Structure 1
Amino acid sequence: MHILGALQSDGKTEDVPNAKKPKVRPPRSWRDAPWLPVRSLPTYTGPYPVGTMEIEVPVEHPRVFSHIKRNGKHLLQLETVLMTIYYPASHDEKNDSAAHKEKLSRELWLGRPRIGVAQGYGKFAGLGNFIVPLFLPTLFTKLPAYRNAPLARHWAPEVDTKDEGVKVKTREGHKPEGAATDEPRFPLIMFSHGLGGTRTMYSSVCGEFASYGFVVCAVEHRDGSGPRSYINHTKEPAVDAEGTVTERQRNGQVDITPNEQRREYEIMDYVFPKDNPYDTSPGSDKGVDTELRGAQVELRLAEIDESYQVMRKLANGEGEAVAEKNLRKKGYKASSSRGLEGVDWARWKDRFHLNDVTACGHSFGAATVIEILRHDDRFNYVGQGIIYDIWGAGTKPPEEESLEHRIHAPLLAINSEAFTYWPSNFELVSSLIDEAQNGPNESPSWLLTLRGTIHVSQSDFSLLYPNVCSLFLKMIANPQRALDLNINASLEFLSHVLPAEVAQVNRAYKNEGVLEQDPSPLERIPSAQLLKPDEKYTAMRLKIKHESLFRLSPSLYKKLWLQKHSPNSDGKMRADDEVWVHTKPTPESIRKHLENNKGRSNIKKSTIDGALPMTATSAEQKNAEPVHMSDTPQGNSAAGDNNLGK
């Protein structure tokens, strides 16, 4: 099949042989119609509509990171922070925004300027401008969310679109028993993208979280890890910032060329290590450029912290001050003319939690999350972490001289099957789970693999280009079902570890019990079930056995697969048909975590003194009963508020 034809196909791929169907995602408008050549993103399945805001503001303390230079200029520096905020929106947009309903728009997935960003991807992929035509189907793709829509004030009903269809997004639910406020306060997630990513590359993950009642701040890193990002200059001294660009350069805070000063913006493209441009490859002889990657992590941490300060201002009622400094508006590069027009900032005051924040990231973003979790002294507002397909080689080792800088919070690690076959990477992520469970806080943690998935299965790429992923990267999981599993496992994790008063806003997802199934240690999985590729393709793609039959007749392939691997099967799913759970905590460790953090969502978590390690061996885990929230110290409150076990 011609590759452009694959990009413009109907988006269907075959499932893992014995997999559940993905959730219902009915089209929202004509733009989502399958017959259009433009690729569309699936709508979100939670009970809330979703809104987005695009914000770029100058940082309070601009500075240079590392001595590394390119073309005589410091490579890594912090001037502004750029983010897209995904959030639960009002269910009655027509009434709430009647004055400017026609002005509500949807943010572009690729970003502005679209050709420029596509060229950045070409540079990142090593294909130059030849790749630009491959982005034609997504040049007009927009997020299935309203820009600057009013923040939701209502408690959502306890059902999702699978049960009620899109009409659930127009309904209100009842206030949960014991809720302190009439209007919900939403949990906050800080999201960090991977190499080649942007703030919108993971819009489906971020938007799904928002549709279930979370505010998600997706940061765009300007550390040379994204394909292309545009950094605007302030045109006048900004409030709380240290002068104009000229003044900051004169003071040695930033390093800007005369050309960049004249055009009033900078372009940050993907940065390749000088002597080993493809240091991310598992087969790289020279290994990872630790100097560059370490400096990038430090810049990423600063961007996360600066972005959190912006979120804190929104929650403290200072939204108008943030809007005044916003550089993503008419007259600035890569901006929508709408800016933050029409946002009701009064709605944002005290409407989301600033503590018990979840740090979440993919690939290099997951490595960033680990560094956050190791520094409770700096990121004491973070309560837990979710890492998707962590790039272990980009993860900084723990500080040997400091026992304090260890993972201090619960951790959920979700691997793609392709990354699970990367031995050193799997060993690294396993060690991180051990570090969390044996650390000073004895934090309950999970490690699992989603079968039939590849590295981009946790981004929008597999949703927009499913047949490319299937034909060339050998993904066999349905991309929407893979998204469901990532989100459902993540929501299940958060329902276990968040304090009840924070978790109660998410009552709609149907718990599949993904984290409760018996462990499947990797070394015990029958080789016939593995899609392990040849060594040269490690972490890059899978290997489909009898692929010709798989392509010719997926239904026959499924039938023969079930006969071989489940001869006594009646066609019903087994627990490990879609997910392998490699490690999970004991019920006691979850109970202890909840008990020690119960009612403490507004203060820093303290270290548990004198506690013994709680990591369970595979045998102990096999004998342990599945952990249900009804068995925890939060009791029926957490279970009732989150619909667990239904």
Structure 2
Amino acid sequence: MPRFPGALQKGDGTSKIPNAREPKVRQPRGWRDSSLVPGSSLPTYSGPYPVGTMEIEVPAQNPRHFSKIKRNHQHVLQLETVLMTVYYPSSHHERNLDQQGKKLSRELWLGRPRVEMARGYGKFAGVGSLAVPLFLPAMFTKLPAYRNAPVANYWAEATDTGDGGPKAKPSGRSQPEGAPDEPCFPLILFSHGLGGTRTMYSSVCGEFASYGFVVCAIEHRDGSGPRTYVNHAKSGLGTMIEREKEGDVDHDATEKKRGYDVIDYLFPKDNPYDTSPKNDKGVDRELRDAQIELRVAEIEEAYYVMSEIHAGRGQNTADRNLRTEGYKASSSHGLKGVDWNRWKGRFHLDHVTACGHSFGAATVTEMLRHGDRFNYLSQGIIYDIWGAGTTPPEEEAPHHRIHTPLLAVNSEAFTYWPSNFELVESLIKEAQAEPEPAPSWLMTLRGTVHISQSDFSLLYPKVCSFFLKMVANPRRALDLNINASLEFLSHVLPADLAQVNRAYKNENLLESEPSPLDRIPSTQLHRPKDDFVAVRLKIRHEWLYRLSPRLFHAVNRKRAKRTGRAPETGDEIWLHVKPTPESVQRHLEKSEGSSGVKEEKFEEAEAMMSEATDPGSKQQDACR
């Protein structure tokens, strides 16, 4: 790492975040979001758009198995369907979201069947059925978004994300000069980490949607999630017989009888904890590489589904949807009430952002390194990447490198993992390498742990505080992740896409002075003992902090205000690397002159969709 001036000043020796800002104001939308229901609600989104969701599972266009890995004489890595939740800006305030006289429903966070999903988490965590009571409050948690709500057709007011957030959803409109009457939203593809699901990061995905992005969150069926259910059609495309014939996949008698597959977390043989920093055996490369291959294939399938919706053929997707009444883990709502005509041409299929957490960030890295295959991607956001899960770059293929802008956001816990931090640095350098350097940033969120970028820290803040020693306010950590990401996208997206982002000002997180890790005073570190590296932090004088963390932070803020010291970015983040303004300008000039998506990629997606639906139709690309 190069050494920069402006290292953080010495703190007060308490190892706390001394002058953190308050989280954004988020008004509850109903009794489920009230403080009277502790531990069972997620914070509402802070952007000016209400958020809608759609739950989609459709048969994969190209079913197949990955690798020769088998358990009980069956391939364990199989692509048969693709499952996703789509988060998007909705067109009305929640009080107007009525459909046929009934209030629109909200998707469950844990998913159905709830007890079995909790058991899946218990198996993943090694506690078995003991997880069921722990997840009991979350069984009644619903996303603060509305199922199958109409996609927004207006320009919401831009929101200042640096002033604590709006106290109420704005109802006015703010159409930029020269912009079309209806906004065309940028697309984000989101990949979850180990132990994750498509709803585990609903706060991050929903926040993006509330600011004007369409987010497609894929649920991976690669044995990296706690539990997931793969449905099969009762006839025609997607039946078990058809999948076995088309994709050389296999099912046992039990699966054939019940009509669905159950995929639990897959522990590597003879090396179940290959994710641990202290594991002498290292990572199970055969399994992890095969999982990456399956993951990127699922993302390709999800992109094709989004292409079909963009083309105005969403009804074809609805007709094939396996997350509807009569199928396992499904809601009776399905995709009822969606006006697919309103979706035609309403989001961009190029300049797509790839975003992921942990193993999902490793998945994003693999995609960005293969720009020839994923040439609709123009930038990436990686939250707390699990570096050991990445596939090393191909030495014989120097063009397989990251050539797009990249934002890497670390938790403080992962920053203290030396080999992992070095890997993240290498990715930033890879993106910034000549002859075509891409603007890239690397930052750390102080007081955060690995799950601070998921919903778990929001639902179980005391667990994270007592056992993982998280000292950052989880809602403030969410704000910092989103504000930094929105700022990054405003820097690197072309002007017509950037103006759709309904955030302005931000907190200038990416403009703060760089602070190399070896220049940060030891009094500001929460570095744990070696046995707990990457797992948790260390709190000095923890007994004093436990008396009242909220009071502690409030007193610090009041003291700072009395002495005239305003909150500084260094109080909450460490920015390790940032690009020069010239490199950002060169990137924008280059991206403005290119559509970002080769015509053949659209033709390929169109051909695949047409074969499964309407061979005579032609894709419209009004947003491109």
When normalised by structure 1's length, the TM-score is 0.87
Shift of 1:235: 1.0
The answer on 1:28 being equivalent to 2:23 is no
Task: Report the Cα distance in structure 2 between the residues aligned to 1:211 and 1:99, rounded to whole angstroms.
Answer: 21
Give the residue type in structure 2 aligned to 1:592.
Answer: R
Task: Report the Cα distance in structure 2 between the residues aligned to 1:515 and 1:430, rounded to whole angstroms.
Answer: 16
Give 2:86's aligned residue: 85
Give the residue type in structure 2 aligned to 1:302.
Answer: A
Matches for 1:264-283 after TM superposition, within 5 Å: 264-283=259-278
Q: RMSD in angstroms over aligned alpha carbons?
A: 2.2
Per-residue displacement from partner, 1:480-532 (whole Å, max 9, x unpaired)? 00000000000000000000011111133441000000100001001111000
Q: Which runs of 5+ in 1 are unaligned?
A: 1-13, 606-646
Give 1:127's aligned residue: 127
Shift of 1:101: 4.5
Give the residue type in structure 2 aligned to 1:345.
Answer: W
Conserved? CA contact 2:20–2:557, under 8 Å:
no
Change (3 A) 1:427 1:477: same
Change (3 A) 1:45 1:396: same
Conserved? CA contact 1:93–1:149, under 8 Å:
no
Task: Report the Cα distance in structure 1 between the residues aligned to 2:309 and 2:554, rounded to whole angstroms.
Answer: 54
Q: 2:513 aligns with which of 478, 498, 518?
A: 518
Conserved? CA contact 1:15–1:478, under 8 Å:
no
What SS does the aligned partner of 1:66 have?
A: coil
Conserved? CA contact 1:562–1:569, under 8 Å:
no
Per-residue displacement from partner, 1:291-342 (whole Å, max 9, x unpaired)? 0000000000000000000000000001000000000000000000010000
Structure 1 stretches of 4+ with a deviation exceeding 6 A read 559-564
Give 1:209's aligned residue: 208
Change (3 A) 1:603 1:282: same
Q: 1:373 aligns with which of 355, 360, 368?
A: 368
Aligned residues: 583
What SS does the aligned partner of 1:189 have?
A: strand
Give 1:420's aligned residue: 415
Per-residue displacement from partner, 1:154-183 (whole Å, max 9, x unpaired)? 000123695542231xx131310121x210
Shift of 1:548: 1.1
Give 2:52's aligned residue: 51
Per-residue displacement from partner, 1:422-442 (whole Å, max 9, x unpaired)? 000000000000000005531
Shift of 1:556: 8.1
Give 1:325's aligned residue: 320
The answer on 1:484 being equivalent to 2:479 is yes
What SS does the aligned partner of 2:571 have?
A: coil
Change (3 A) 1:101 1:270: farther
Give 1:460's aligned residue: 455
Task: Report the Cα distance in structure 2 between the residues aligned to 1:15 and 1:479, rounded to whole angstroms.
Answer: 14
The answer on 1:140 being equivalent to 2:140 is yes
Give the residue type in structure 1 aligned to 2:572.
Answer: E
Conserved? CA contact 2:39–2:459, under 8 Å:
no
Which is further off, 519-528 or 553-562?
A: 553-562
The answer on 1:584 being equivalent to 2:578 is yes
Shift of 1:365: 0.1
Per-residue displacement from partner, 1:616-641 (whole Å, max 9, x unpaired)? xxxxxxxxxxxxxxxxxxxxxxxxxx
Shift of 1:408: 1.6
Give the residue type in structure 2 aligned to 1:280.
Answer: T
Shift of 1:100: 2.3
What SS does the aligned partner of 1:165 have?
A: coil
Give the residue type in structure 2 aligned to 1:166.
Answer: A
Q: 2:336 aligns with which of 319, 333, 341?
A: 341
Per-residue displacement from partner, 1:217-261 (whole Å, max 9, x unpaired)? 0000000000000000111112xx6xx321332456211112101
Q: Which runs of 5+ in 2 are unaligned?
A: 1-14, 600-624
Shift of 1:141: 0.1
Change (3 A) 1:130 1:157: same
When normalised by structure 2's length, the TM-score is 0.90
Change (3 A) 1:274 1:211: same
The answer on 1:62 being equivalent to 2:56 is no
Give 1:195's aligned residue: 194
Give the residue type in structure 2 aligned to 1:315.
Answer: H
Q: 2:167 aligns with which of 156, 165, 168?
A: 165
The answer on 1:447 being equivalent to 2:418 is no
Conserved? CA contact 1:499–1:599, under 8 Å:
no
Shift of 1:457: 0.4
Change (3 A) 1:185 1:548: same
Per-residue displacement from partner, 1:332-367 (whole Å, max 9, x unpaired)? 000000100000000100000000000000000000
The answer on 1:508 being equivalent to 2:503 is yes
Shift of 1:588: 1.0
Q: RCO higher in 1 or 2 (8 Å CA, sep ≥ 6)? A: 2
Per-residue displacement from partner, 1:265-306 (whole Å, max 9, x unpaired)? 000000000111010010001010010000000000000000
Q: 2:405 aligns with which of 404, 407, 410?
A: 410
The answer on 1:234 being equivalent to 2:233 is yes
Conserved? CA contact 2:62–2:247, under 8 Å:
no
Conserved? CA contact 1:385–1:412, under 8 Å:
yes
Task: Report the Cα distance in structure 1 between the residues aligned to 2:551 and 2:459, rounded to whole angstroms.
Answer: 27
Change (3 A) 1:40 1:445: same
The answer on 1:224 being equivalent to 2:219 is no
